[in-house]
Amino acid sequence: MRGLYAIIDPEHCAGRDPRVIAAAVLRGGCAVLQLRAKTLDDAAFVTLGRELAQSCRAHGVTFVVNDRVALVDAIGADGLHLGQNDLSLAGARARVGSHVMITVSTHSLEQARAAERRGADGIGFGPVFATRTKADADPVVGLSALAEVCGLLRIPVIAIGGITLETAPQVRLAGAPFAAVISAICAAADPEVAARALHRELLGPEPSSAAPPEGGR
């Protein structure tokens, strides 16, 4: 599996209903959809999360929640994403069980390797480019560091931070199977079109259907 890792954040939806944005993104296409909503209370988060989880199941898309370890079961999420300052990986695993995928944000090769050793199912790595969706963003790591991490780790890497349609090819060529995107889809005039273009770009060019030439003819 590879492609667009779409993050739906109500704070970045330009005043639009996040359900509408998520539905458009799912029509456009993505591999994973994550709900990130720092300011929603638990009840509102569960309500929104359940709706998005159901929509993701209907589209065969993996659904992940950000941070809210205690709400994973209530929502029925497929995965949980943790930041460096959230509950430890071991603590989260004890809460959600082995059937839930857990990924961890990392910002250096050392953090990436540590997450793999501790049993993460995947990592986010970045910010690869400068980002405006986090006020306290870590320093930019760049494409070279992304390529190094992708080459050394055995678990999937999700490139994070400032990724757009223009920079997506560089992320794909660096070896990242996934790229997390917030603003380029949530704030897009047409999130469906934006998601479709990003997902296709991250999947890479389709193999040619033309038959190879025979012999010297």
Residues 159-208 have pLDDT tens digits of 999 999 999 999 999 999 999 999 999 999 999 999 999 999 999 986 55
Rounded CA-CA distance 212/14 in Å is 49
Rounded CA-CA distance 73/29 in Å is 25
pTM recorded for the entire structure: 0.93
Rounded CA-CA distance 36/66 in Å is 5
pLDDT, one tens digit per residue, over 105-160 is 999 999 999 999 999 999 999 999 998 766 667 899 999 999 999 999 999 999 99
CATH class of 3-203: alpha beta
Residues annotated as part of the active site: 36, 105, 134
- Please report, in angstroms and rounded to a whole number, the separation of the first and last CA atoms in the chain: 38
pLDDT, one tens digit per residue, over 20-31 is 999 999 999 999
